[in-house]
C-alpha cells in the first residue's frame, strides 16, 4: 500500500478514535481473558479479532485493523461477530497488510537473534524508534522523550515511538507509566505499546538457545496474555507487535507468537551495540535506565539531523508504516 495512503488511513483512524483513545478505560476487573479469532464488522470497517474478555459484566474484544495494524479494545455488542479458527482467520484476511506482514515475519524465523521484521525500506528519510522497557530497578530514561519532543514539536506532533513494555516494568514503575500516559494523552508523543513478555527472564551464563523466552519451563501463554491484561488494566491498548526479550527466539517460538496473532519486531540498529541507523531502520534503545549509552547515541543522532528535521527531511515513522514498507519489499 502506498505509504501516503497508509498515513491518510492512519490519520483518519486517529481522528475517528481520538475520543476512544483519550477515554481508554482502565480495565480493572478483567475475567475470562482469552485468545479469540474471527471477524468483527461495524460498517464500513472490518476488524480482525485477537482476544475476548469480560470486565464488570460487559463483554469486550481486542481488535486489529487489518489495513493499518492499529488496535483497539471495544464492546462486543457494537459489532457483528463471526468466530473463526486461527487458520480460517488468516485465510479470510489473506489479502490484507496484516496477513502479508505476519507472513513476512514468519519467513524470518530461523535466526537465534533478531527474527521477525527488522527494518523497512530506505525510501523515506528517517527511522522508526523502539525503546525497550525490560524489568529494571532504575527510573525511566526520560531524556528520550524530552529530546524527541523538543526536536519534533514544530514538525511532527505527536512524534511516534514504540515502547516494548514488560509486565514487571509496569508493576514497579507506576509513576513513570503515568508520566508516559500523560505525554500521550496530551498529544506530545504517540506511543505504540509493544508486548515485551511479562517476566523477561534472563540468565547471565546460559547460552542463547536456553536463554530469555527459550529458558526451559517458560510459560509462553502467561508471558503474552498476562502482559496484555496488565496493559489493559493500566489503560494501555496492546498493539499487534511483540518484541522478544534479548531479541532471542527460535523458529518454534516465532510461530508460537504468530499463533497469538502477534507480529515479532526485531531491529537492524541496536545503537548500544554499535549498529548504525540507516533510513528505514527499526532502531532499538533501552528506556529502562540500563543502557544510557544507547540513549546518548540516539540523542546524538537526533542532534545531527536537526536541520533536516526542521525541513521535514528526516522524520520518525510509526512502526506500522515501517513494517508495511517491509511488506512492499517482500512482494
Spell out, one character per residue from 86 to 115, where the chain touches Zn ion: x when CB under 5 A holds, - when not.
------------------------------
Give whichever of 114 and 132 is closer to Zn ion, judged by the CB atom.
Answer: 132
Which 114-153 positions form the footprint of Zn ion (CB under 5 A)?
132, 134
In the complex, least distance from residue 212 CB atom to Zn ion, rounded to whole angstroms: 8
Tracing cell 529530546 back to the chain, one arrives at 147
Give whichever of 188 and 250 is closer to Zn ion, judged by the CB atom.
Answer: 250
DSSP state of 237: P
**Among 32-40, 149-157, 244-252, 260-268, the segment contacting Zn ion (CB under 5 A):** 244-252
Asked if 223 touches Zn ion (CB under 5 A), the answer is: no
Please check whether residue 105 is in contact with residue 263, taking contact to mean a CB–CB distance below 8 angstroms: yes
| φ, ψ (nearest 5 deg) of residue 175 | -70, -40
Q: Which of 20, 66, 69 is nearest to 39 (CA)?
A: 66
Number of residues that bind Zn ion (CB under 5 A): 3
* Spatial separation of the C-alpha atoms in residues 297 and 108, rounded to whole Å: 28
Give whichever of 163 and 189 is closer to Zn ion, judged by the CB atom.
Answer: 163
**Among 53-61, 173-181, 237-245, 266-274, the segment contacting Zn ion (CB under 5 A):** 237-245
In the complex, least distance from residue 134 CB atom to Zn ion, rounded to whole angstroms: 3
Query: Which position among 38, 245, 264, 266 is part of the footprint of Zn ion (CB under 5 A)?
Result: 245
Give whichever of 61 and 271 is closer to Zn ion, judged by the CB atom.
Answer: 271
In the complex, least distance from residue 285 CB atom to Zn ion, rounded to whole angstroms: 11
Minimal CB distance residue for Zn ion: 134
Give whichever of 57 and 207 is closer to Zn ion, judged by the CB atom.
Answer: 207
Q: Which residues of 156-193 are buried (b: 16+ CB within 10 A; e: fewer)?
A: bebbbbbbbbbbbbbeebeebbeebeebbeeebbbbbb
- DSSP element (H, E) containing 21: helix 3-22
Which 11-70 positions form the footprint of Zn ion (CB under 5 A)?
none
> What are the start-end ranges of the H helices in 282-318?
292-304, 306-310
Sequence-ordered list of residues with C-beta below 8 angstroms from that of 261, at least 6 positions apart, any chain: 35, 37, 48, 50, 64, 86, 89, 102, 240
Provide the binding-site residues for Zn ion, judged by CB under 5 A.
132, 134, 245
Amino acid at each position: 500500500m502506498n505509504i501516503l495512503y497508509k498515513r491518510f488511513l492512519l490519520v483518519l483512524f486517529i481522528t475517528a478514535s481520538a475520543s476512544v483513545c483519550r477515554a481508554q478505560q482502565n480495565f480493572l476487573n478483567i475475567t475470562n481473558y482469552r485468545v479469540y479469532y474471527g471477524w468483527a464488522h461495524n460498517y464500513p470497517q472490518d476488524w480482525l479479532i485477537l482476544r475476548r474478555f469480560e470486565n464488570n459484566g460487559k463483554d469486550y474484544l481486542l481488535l486489529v485493523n487489518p489495513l493499518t495494524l492499529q488496535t483497539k479494545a471495544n464492546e462486543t455488542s457494537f459489532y457483528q461477530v463471526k468466530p473463526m479458527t486461527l487458520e480460517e482467520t488468516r485465510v479470510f484476511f489473506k489479502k490484507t497488510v496484516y496477513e502479508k506482514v505476519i507472513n513476512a515475519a514468519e519467513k524470518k524465523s530461523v535466526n537465534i537473534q533478531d527474527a521477525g521484521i527488522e527494518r523497512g525500506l530506505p525510501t523515506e528519510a528517517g527511522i522508526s524508534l523502539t525503546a525497550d522497557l525490560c524489568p529494571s530497578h532504575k527510573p525511566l530514561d526520560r531524556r528520550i522523550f524530552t529530546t524527541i519532543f523538543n526536536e519534533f514539536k514544530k514538525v511532527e506532533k505527536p512524534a511516534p515511538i514504540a515502547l516494548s513494555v514488560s509486565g514487571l516494568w509496569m508493576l514497579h514503575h507506576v509513576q513513570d507509566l503515568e508520566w508516559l500516559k500523560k505525554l500521550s494523552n496530551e498529544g506530545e508523543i504517540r506511543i505504540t505499546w509493544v508486548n515485551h513478555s511479562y517476566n523477561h527472564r534472563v540468565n547471565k551464563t546460559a547460552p542463547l538457545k536456553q536463554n530469555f523466552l527459550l529458558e526451559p519451563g517458560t510459560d509462553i501463554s502467561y508471558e503474552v496474555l498476562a502482559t496484555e491484561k496488565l496493559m489493559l488494566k493500566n489503560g494501555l491498548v496492546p498493539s499487534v507487535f511483540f518484541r522478544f526479550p534479548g531479541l532471542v527466539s527460535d523458529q518454534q517460538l516465532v510461530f508460537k507468537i504468530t499463533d497469538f496473532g502477534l507480529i515479532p519486531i526485531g531491529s537492524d540498529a541496536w545503537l548500544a551495540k554499535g549498529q548504525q541507523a540507516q533510513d528505514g531502520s527499526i532502531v532499538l534503545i533501552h528506556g529502562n535506565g540500563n543502557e544510557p549509552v544507547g540513549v546518548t547515541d540516539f540523542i546524538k543522532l537526533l542532534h545531527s539531523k536537526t536541520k533536516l528535521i526542521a525541513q521535514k527531511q528526516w522524520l520518525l515513522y510509526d512502526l506500522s508504516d515501517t513494517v508495511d514498507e517491509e511488506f512492499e519489499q517482500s512482494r
